[in-house]
C-alpha cells in the first residue's frame, strides 16, 4: 500500500474520502445527508465503527466514510486508531476505488496518532493471492494508495520508520502463509537472503555437515526423517556500539511438522506449514530493525528443519546428544521444536555471548488451551527482561502472559537413561517445554521463551489482519528493541 501526504488542493478530486470521528463528537461541518446516515446507522464514533454515505461536491458524487476512533483519553487509543485505519482498508480494499483519501482537517490528531491510523491501514492491506488463478475482478484488490490530507508536519518522517516495521510484519506473514512445498529450510534461507539483501544485515548459513561438526545432534535428529536438508540461518545487525555484545533473537523454524513417527492426526495437519512462525517472526524483526536503522546490535538465529516420518526418522526411545553435550531421550517425536531450539540456543551463546536472549516458537498446543488466541505465553528467568517484554507487548498489541518456571517442574522431564526427556506428562505441557529449554541457558544469561502457538495464525479476521497469518512477534520484538535496548 502506497502512503502519500498531500495538501487539500491536491486531493480535491478524490472520489473516496474518510473522516476520522472521535466518540460522541460528530463533526459540525458534515453535510446533512451524512449526519442523517450516521444517526440512522447508530454510528457514534466507537473504535472500529464505519458509516458511509454519498454527497455531491463540485459537481461530482463523492463517497464519504466516517471511521470511529473512540474517546480521546482512552488507554487503548493507539489500538483504536489502528483499528480505524484497518477497518477502512478492510471495507474498501476490493471496492473498485484505487485511492482512499483520509482527511484529517479539524481532527487535532498528533503525528503519532496519524501514523497509528496508517499503520493499521497498511497492516490490514496485506494479501497473498499468488496461487489464485481464477479470482474474479470484483474480488481482486483495487485500493493501492492512501492519501493523507492535513497531516501534522512530522507525520511523514515518523511514518517512514513505522513503514519499515510494517514491511517486516508483511515478510513474516509471507513466510508463514507459504505452503510447505514452497517454504522449506533451503528456500526459507533463500527468501531471507533475497529480502535482506542491501539492508546491511550480514548473513551466515550453516549446512548439515557444519551442524554435525558442531555436535547439533538434537536438531539433526528432527531433520533426519526428511528429504529436505536442514539449515541454520544467522542474521547480524550491527547498529549499536562497535564490538558490544548483541541481543539474541532465536526462532523455531519447523517448516512443516507432520509429527514424525509420533504422527499427528490428519485433520488440521495442513496448518503445520506455520510451525516455523517463530523463525518467521525473527526474520521479519531483523528486516524491521534494519529497515529503520536501529541503534542496537542484534543477532537473529533460525533453526530450520522439516519433521517427517520416513524410514530414517528418529524413533520414540532414541537418545540424542545436543550441542551442549547434554543427552535427550526422545519420548515423542512431535515434541521436536524444543530439540531444534536447544541447539540454536547453545550455538548463539557460544558464538556471540549475547547479553539477553529471546526465543520464539509455536511450541505447544497446551499454551492455546491455557490462553486461547488472545496472548502469547512468556517464560523468563529474569524479571527485568520479562517486564520489558510485557510492556512491549502492551504497546505493540502483541500481548504476552507470563507463566511460572521452577525446580518443581524439572522432575517431570528427568529421564531414566539420559539427562532429560523431550516431553513430560500431559499436564503443564507448556511449562515443562520451557523447563527443557532453560536447561540450555548458560551462565545465568537473561532469557525469555515466548510460546506463540496460538498467535501466528487466525481462523477469523482480527484488528489489523485478515484471516490467516497475523505477523505476531515482529512488532513486539521491534518495540522491545526500541524501549529496552535503544533507549
Neighbour count for residue 128 (Cβ, 10 Å): 15
Catalytic residue among 19, 338, 421, 439: 338
Composition of the chain by helix, strand, coil, percent to 5 = 35, 20, 40
How far is the C-alpha of 392 from the C-alpha of 416, rounded, in Å?
A: 41
How far is the C-alpha of 179 from the C-alpha of 196, rounded, in Å?
A: 21
Beta bridge partners of 147: 4, 101
Respond yes or no: is residue 356 known to be catalytic.
no
Cβ-contact 33, 11 below 8 angstroms: no
How far is the C-alpha of 379 from the C-alpha of 300, rounded, in Å?
A: 19
Q: CB-based contacts of 370: which residues, under 8 Å, 6+ apart?
A: 377, 403, 430
Please give the biggest Cα pair distance in the chain. 83
Cβ-contact 119, 463 below 8 angstroms: no
How far is the C-alpha of 400 from the C-alpha of 411, rounded, in Å?
A: 26
DSSP state of 105: T
Cβ-contact 291, 199 below 8 angstroms: yes
Q: CB-based contacts of 126: which residues, under 8 Å, 6+ apart?
A: 169, 170, 173, 465, 466, 471
Handedness of CA 215, 220, 222, 224 (dihedral sign): negative
Cβ-contact 97, 15 below 8 angstroms: yes
Q: CB-based contacts of 425: which residues, under 8 Å, 6+ apart?
A: 412, 432
How far is the C-alpha of 199 from the C-alpha of 338, rounded, in Å?
A: 31
Alpha helices in 111-249 (DSSP H): 111-124, 155-177, 185-196, 208-213, 217-223
H or E segment to which residue 3 belongs: strand 2-6
Catalytic residue among 264, 295, 373, 402: 264
Would you call 112 exposed, middle or buried from its count of C-beta atoms within 10 A (0-12, 13-18, 19+)? middle
How far is the C-alpha of 434 from the C-alpha of 428, rounded, in Å?
A: 10
How far is the C-alpha of 430 from the C-alpha of 437, rounded, in Å?
A: 11
Respond yes or no: is residue 140 known to be catalytic.
no
SS3 at position 385: helix
How far is the C-alpha of 179 from the C-alpha of 191, rounded, in Å?
A: 14
The set of catalytic residues is: 264, 338
Amino acid at each position: 500500500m502506497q502512503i502519500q501526504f498531500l495538501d487539500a488542493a491536491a486531493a480535491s478530486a478524490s472520489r473516496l474520502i474518510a473522516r476520522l470521528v472521535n466518540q460522541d463528537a460528530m463533526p459540525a461541518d458534515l453535510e446533512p445527508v451524512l449526519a442523517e446516515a450516521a444517526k440512522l446507522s447508530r454510528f457514534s464514533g466507537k473504535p472500529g465503527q464505519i458509516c458511509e454515505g454519498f454527497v455531491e461536491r463540485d459537481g461530482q458524487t463523492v463517497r464519504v466514510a466516517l471511521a470511529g476512533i473512540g474517546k480521546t483519553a482512552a488507554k487503548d487509543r493507539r489500538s483504536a486508531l489502528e483499528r480505524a485505519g484497518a477497518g477502512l482498508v478492510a471495507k474498501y480494499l476490493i471496492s473498485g476505488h484505487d485511492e482512499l483519501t483520509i482527511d484529517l482537517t479539524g481532527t487535532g490528531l498528533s503525528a503519532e496518532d496519524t501514523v497509528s491510523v496508517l499503520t493499521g491501514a497498511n497492516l490490514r492491506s496485506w494479501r497473498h493471492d499468488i496461487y489464485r488463478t481464477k479470482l474474479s475482478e470484483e474480488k481482486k484488490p483495487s485500493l493501492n494508495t492512501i492519501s493523507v490530507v492535513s497531516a501534522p508536519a512530522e507525520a511523514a518522517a515518523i511514518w517512514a520508520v513505522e513503514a519499515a516495521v510494517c514491511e517486516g510484519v508483511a515478510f513474516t506473514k509471507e513466510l508463514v502463509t507459504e505452503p510447505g512445498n514452497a517454504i522449506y529450510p533451503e528456500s526459507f534461507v533463500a527468501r531471507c537472503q533475497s529480502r535482506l539483501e542491501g539492508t546491511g544485515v550480514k548473513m551466515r548459513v550453516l549446512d548439515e555437515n557444519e551442524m554435525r561438526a558442531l555436535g547439533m545432534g538434537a536438531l539433526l535428529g528432527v531433520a533426519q526423517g526428511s528429504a529436505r536438508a536442514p539449515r541454520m540461518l544467522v542474521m547480524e545487525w550491527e547498529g549499536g556500539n562497535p564490538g558490544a555484545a548483541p541481543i539474541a533473537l532465536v526462532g523455531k523454524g519447523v517448516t512443516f511438522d507432520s509429527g514424525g513417527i509420533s504422527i499427528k492426526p490428519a485433520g488440521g495437519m495442513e496448518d503445520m506449514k506455520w510451525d516455523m512462525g517463530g523463525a518467521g517472526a525473527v526474520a521479519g524483526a531483523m528486516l524491521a530493525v534494519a529497515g529503520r536503522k536501529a541503534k542496537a546490535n542484534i543477532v537473529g538465529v533460525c533453526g530450520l528443519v522439516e519433521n517427517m516420518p520416513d524410514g530414517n526418522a528418529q524413533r520414540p526411545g532414541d537418545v540424542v546428544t545436543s550441542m551442549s553435550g547434554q543427552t535427550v531421550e526422545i519420548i515423542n517425536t512431535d515434541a521436536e521444536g524444543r530439540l531444534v531450539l536447544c541447539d540454536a540456543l547453545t550455538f548463539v551463546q557460544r558464538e556471540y555471548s549475547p547479553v539477553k536472549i529471546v526465543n520464539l516458537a509455536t511450541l505447544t498446543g497446551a499454551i492455546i488451551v491455557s490462553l486461547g488466541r488472545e496472548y502469547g505465553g512468556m517464560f523468563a528467568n529474569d524479571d527485568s527482561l520479562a517486564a520489558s517484554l510485557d510492556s512491549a507487548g502492551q504497546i505493540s498489541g502483541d500481548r504476552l502472559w507470563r507463566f511460572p518456571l521452577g525446580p518443581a517442574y524439572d522432575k517431570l522431564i528427568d529421564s531414566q537413561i539420559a539427562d532429560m526427556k523431550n516431553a513430560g506428562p500431559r499436564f503443564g505441557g507448556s511449562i515443562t517445554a520451557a523447563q527443557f529449554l532453560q536447561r540450555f541457558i548458560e551462565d545465568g544469561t537473561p532469557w525469555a521463551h515466548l510460546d506463540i502457538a496460538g498467535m501466528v495464525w487466525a481462523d477469523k479476521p482480527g484488528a489489523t489482519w485478515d484471516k490467516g497469518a497475523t505477523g505476531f512477534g515482529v512488532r513486539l520484538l521491534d518495540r522491545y528493541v526500541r524501549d529496552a535496548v535503544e533507549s
